[in-house]
A = this chain, B = another copy of it.
Amino acid sequence: MANKPVTIKDIAEKLNISVSTVSRALKNNPEISLQTREAVQKLAKELKYQPNPLAVALKTQKSNTIGVVVPQIVSSFYASVVKGIEQVADEFGYQVFVSSSNEKMEKEEKNVNGFLNMRMDGIILSLSRATSTYDHIHKIQDMGVPMVLFDRTSKELEVSKVVADDAAAAHAAVTHLIEGGAKRIAFLTGPEYMLFGRNRMRGYKKALKEKGMEIDETLISRCDFTVEDAKNASLELLKRSNRPDAFFAINDELAIGAMTAAKELGLKIPDEVAVVGFSNSRRSRYMEPSMSTMDQNPKQVGREAAKLLFDQMEDKPGAKDVKEVVVHADLLVRTSSER
């Protein structure tokens, strides 16, 4: 038990050569004779040599790791973003460490400091809901550590970002509904302070205007992000004499609530009531096959963020410029026949 990890020195001794030769041979340095290179590599394989990343990092001052801080780990949106990040990090040979701020600024600061301490080579971050000051963010910049923000960003920060175009996505969704024949489209949204909700409302209104439809404020319903709440709100709308013939909901729960309400009233979906919601979620399994959704492309968000980061880390020309990439959501149209 307690097998000591094998070091470069062990290899050197067994082969009666110096550690520097081993080090070079391991990285296939052509200055070393093919013969010794092969001998070293063979032995390394046999001994299952694994370089000690701590020593490498200490020496080279880079850890080949990046850190990502998300507001919550229990969210398929962020989980998918992380997957996207991992994909491209993998291509670049980097390890990814993830931590969650749980929507607390304090935890976010702790995570950032931890990452900085661990000498991570770059940081990808989405601001927690509670984050109000940016000292920890500035600290990252002060230390010259590459960083990119995604999803929850701030205009006050001069950093590269990748965001979703919420308004455009909403616009596309609502346009789809209109072109499908909807005349009265209800808009289900959440608390007013949610930025993406406001943006999606913009897109909703814009689409209506473009099609020459009037905006009926009574069709705009605000409720909590729970299925229950959304269902009640939807029921209320649907029981009116002049009921909506379509719902556009800004997230999963709300869409499910609307659907549930429609079904409870025996209305056929999508013929009598069409529903389009946003999704990024396993929870879409709760959704009906007849419901179209906007896919937020979270994985793409992750990939773009990582790309931006690696651009900076590789010191490409102009890489230090502040960039902003917008990831568009895809409209997934599902027709009943699809099932």
> Which residues of A are at the interface with B, using a C-beta cutoff of 8 A?
1-3, 5, 50, 52-55, 57-58, 63, 73-76, 79, 82, 95, 97-99, 113-114, 116-119, 141-144, 226-228, 282, 285-286
A98 adjacent to B95 (CB under 8 Å): no
Bound complex: CA A141 to CA B117 (Å): 29
**Which of B1, B53, B114 is in CB contact (< 8 Å) with A118?**
B53
Find the B residue at minimum CB distance from A4.
Answer: B143
Which chain B residues border A142 with CB–CB below 8 Å? Answer: 1, 3
List B contacts of A5 (CB < 8 A). Answer: 143
Docked complex Cα distance between A248 and B117 (Å): 49
Residues of B within 8 A of A282 (CB): 74
Q: Is the CB of A144 within 8 A of B2?
A: yes
A82 CB to nearest B CB, Å: 8
Shortest Cβ gap from A273 to chain B (Å): 18
Q: Given the known A-B contacts A97-B97, A98-B98, A285-B227, are A141 and B1 also in contact in the complex, defined by CB atoms under 8 Å?
A: yes
In whole Å, how far is A257's beta carbon from the nearest beta carbon of chain B? 10
Q: Apart from A98-B99, A227-B286, what are 11 other A-B pairs with CB-CB below 8 Å?
A: A1-B142, A3-B143, A50-B113, A52-B119, A53-B117, A54-B57, A54-B58, A55-B58, A73-B73, A74-B75, A98-B98
